[in-house]
Amino acid sequence: MKICAVVPSYNHVSAIGGTIARLRDAGLWVFVVDDGSAPDAARLLRSLESPGVVVSRLEVNQGKGGAVVEGFRLAREGGFTHAVQVDADGQHDLDAIPSLLAAARENPDALIAGRPVFDRSMPLGRRIGRWITHVWVWIETLSTRIGDSMCGFRVYPLAAVDLVLRTARVGRRMDFDTEIIVRLAWLGTPIVEVPVRVTYPPVNSSNFRMWADNVRISWMHTRLVCGMLLRLPSLLRPA
C-alpha cells in the first residue's frame, strides 16, 4: 500500500499552506490541483511546490470533482495505490489523519470515509441540505451504511475509483463526493467511516453555488435513483 494526499484548490489560499505542512508531517506525498484559480492565487499555489509537494494547474476550472479526478490521475501515475482527499479551505480536522490512515491500512480494499462531527459554526441551511442528501443516498443504496456522503475527507482505494470512472460518468463538480461513494457502494466496495471534526471557518469562502449546484445535485440524485432501479435485483440479493 502506498498512500498520498490530493488537495483540490480553487482560490483557497489562506489555509492551504498549513494543510500541506500537516500532510507532509504525516509522511504523505501531496498533489495539489489548482482548479483554474485567479492569477494571484495561482502564483501562491505554485510557490508551495517543493520536494514531496506537486502543484498541477488546470487552466480552465473543472469543478471540485474534476480537480480531484486529476489528482487521482497524478497519484496513479506516481505509483500510489490510495489517496487521502483533503479540502483546501481548512474545514477538515487534520488531527484525524492518523485514524484515517490506520483504518485504510486495516481495510486496504475499503473506502475510508470521514463521518463529520459538526460544531455550531455549521449554517442551518447546510445542515438541512445534508440531511436531505443522506436520505436520498439511503434510498439509492437501499442501505443506511453510508452515514454521510458529502464529506470530502476520505481515503480512496484508487483501483476501485478507476473502475468507477472508466465505467460510469460521474459528476465533476459539487456532486462528485456523493456520486462517487454511491457508485463505489454499488460495486461492493467496503465503506468504513471514521468520525472527524469539521468546522466552517469565519473567513471561509465557499465555492458552492446555491442555485446551480442544487440543480446539479438534484439531477445527480435523479440519475442515481434510476441506476438503483436498474440494479434492484442485485441490491436486494442477500450478501
Give CA–CA dist 229/226, Å, rounded. Answer: 5
Mean pLDDT of the chain: 88
Q: What is the largest CA-CA distance in the chain?
A: 54
pTM of the model as a whole: 0.86
Concatenated DSSP letters of 57-78:
EESS---HHHHHHHHHHHHHHT
Question: Does the pLDDT of residue 113 top 70, yes or no?
Answer: yes
Phi/psi class of residue 36: alpha, beta or left (left: φ > 0; alpha: ψ in -120 to 50)? left
Angle subtended at Cα 40 by Cα 37 and Cα 44, rounded to the nearest 5 degrees: 85
Among 211, 94, 113, 220, which Cα is nearest to 160's?
113
Alpha helices (H) in the chain, listed in sequence order: 16-25, 39-47, 64-77, 97-106, 124-141, 158-167, 176-186, 210-230, 232-236
Per the model's pLDDT, the better-predicted residue between 210 and 113 turns out to be 113
pLDDT of residue 238: 63
Cα radius of gyration (the chain):
17
Between 158-167 and 176-186, two packed helices, what is the crossing angle to 10 degrees? 100
Residue 169 clears pLDDT 70, i.e. is over it: yes
Measured at the CA of 219, the angle between CA 83 and CA 9, to 5 degrees, comes to: 35
Per-residue pLDDT at 40? 95
Cell reading at 45: 499555489
CA dist 60 → 36, 63, 91, 140, 222 (Å): 5, 9, 25, 32, 28
Note every long-range contact of 39-48, with CB atoms under 8 Å and residues 24 or more positions apart, other chains counting: 41/9, 41/11, 41/12, 41/13, 44/13, 45/9, 45/13, 45/16, 48/16, 48/17, 48/20
pLDDT, residue 120, reads 67
The conformational region for residue 222 under phi > 0 = left, psi -120 to 50 = alpha, else beta, is alpha
Task: Taking residues 208-212, report their average pLDDT.
Answer: 56
**Cβ–Cβ under 8 Å, residues 47 and 73:** no
Higher pLDDT: 134 or 52? It is 52
The whole-number pLDDT of residue 203 equals: 54
* Residue with the larger pLDDT of the pair 196 and 90: 196
pLDDT in tens, 59-99: 999 999 999 999 999 999 999 999 999 998 888 889 999 99
